[in-house]
Structure 1
Amino acid sequence: MRLTVITEADGEVAAVQEGYASEAPKDAEYAVIVAGEGQTAHEVEVDLPESIGELAPEELLRTVAAHLAR
């Protein structure tokens, strides 16, 4: 699954959104997450179930953090 992930300066995952923010439609209203001061945005592909809503929040964050650590 394609994800946009925001991390804090220490590498801790701050936010996760399904899809790549860079691929958001430009001709329609569409909200994406963006990195703030001291944060970093990542666009990654992670092996997850069909919908991230099926995962407990802790499991999602742990899985994404483990993927980023590679």
Structure 2
Amino acid sequence: MEALASPIALVGYGIATLGPALAVGLIFSAYLNGVARQPEARGLLTPFTILGFAVAEALAILGFVLFFLT
């Protein structure tokens, strides 16, 4: 059973990195959609977009680090 633990963990962390990648795409598309519809809201949307990118990337880095800790 322990022989399967490492490959299963590898697949699990690989799948876990797809979530943040999709999140970055969704955040960026929402930002572009908001700015395209209302250009004067750019100043309001930019900080939220950067914060969203940071959180999504932090989750990806956390998953990557946890792979090496196990």
Considering Cα pairs closer than 8 Å and 6+ residues apart, tell me whether 1 or 2 has the greater RCO: 2
Q: Normalising by the residue count of structure 1, what TM-score does the alignment of the two structures yield?
A: 0.28
TM superposition score normalised by structure 2: 0.28
More strand by share: 1
| Structure number with larger C-alpha Rg | 2
